[in-house]
Structure 1
């Protein structure tokens, strides 16, 4: 399965509050408190940090916020996202293999990845849950095909 298929599956999502055509981004100078509020409001696990809304400059996850709260206390809520975001954002393209993306996420211990085009502009964001769901659908289709071959033989 390819990343483009994962993105298209999101549009068939059972989560009507998620608009797959909308990439949620925030400005680097947004406060951590506002970022946490946005994540809660949108019911998402991470937000892409981008000045122009097109190119990822960083990513901030719920885990990032919790870790910084644990390390530095509530005072970080007034700091800008740029202080704590992950700057080395891993990206993928629509032609990448979903299993490879799943392996990259697992090895890198991150859960969200922006999908970009040839110019580096974002087309969407996939989560590790999207990749796992895609893989499970592939396995179910393979099982069905093998069962059909065995029963038909």
Structure 2
């Protein structure tokens, strides 16, 4: 299954508020507390940091915030997002497949991947859960096809 199919599945889901093309972004100078509120309000695990809303400058996850609070205390909530965001943002394209995306996420130990076009502009965000769901649907379709072949359907 390709990333563009995963994004289409997200748009076709019955989950309220799920829109694959709605990319939550935050400015680098916003506070970590602002980011935490955004993550909680939209029930998402990461927010893309961007100055223009189109190009990723960084990414900030719930885990990043928790780790920094554990390391530096709650005062980190008053710091700018840019002080703790991951700046080496991994991205993918709509032509990549779910298995490749899952392998990159697993190897890199991250759970969210902005999807970009050839100009580096964001088209959506794929989570590890989205990629796993896409891969499971792909495997189910393969199983059904093989069963049909064996049964002569």
Q: TM-score range by the shorter chain?
A: over 0.9
Cross-structure match for 1:47: 47
Residue 93 of structure 2 corresponds to residue 103 of structure 1: no
* SS of residue paired to 1:105: helix
Per the normalisation by structure 1, the TM-score is 0.98
Cross-structure match for 2:75: 75
* SS of residue paired to 2:47: strand
Residue 148 of structure 2 corresponds to residue 148 of structure 1: yes
* SS of residue paired to 2:124: strand
Alignment of structure 1 residues 88-127 onto 2, 5 Å: 88-127=88-127
CA distance in 1, matches of 2:112, 2:152: 41
* SS of residue paired to 1:107: helix
Residue 13 of structure 1 and its aligned partner are, at CA, apart by 1.7
CA distance in 2, matches of 1:87, 1:135: 28
Aligned residues: 153
Residue 98 of structure 1 and its aligned partner are, at CA, apart by 1.4
Residue 59 of structure 1 and its aligned partner are, at CA, apart by 0.2
Q: Which ranges in structure 2 are unaligned for 5 or more consecutive residues? A: none
The CA RMSD over aligned residues, in Å, is 0.9
Residue 130 of structure 2 corresponds to residue 130 of structure 1: yes
Q: Which ranges in structure 1 are unaligned for 5 or more consecutive residues? A: none
CA distance in 2, matches of 1:19, 1:117: 18
CA distance in 1, matches of 2:7, 2:77: 32
Residue 21 of structure 2 corresponds to residue 21 of structure 1: yes
Q: Deviations over 1:8-33 (max 9, x none)?
A: 00001231112222110000001000
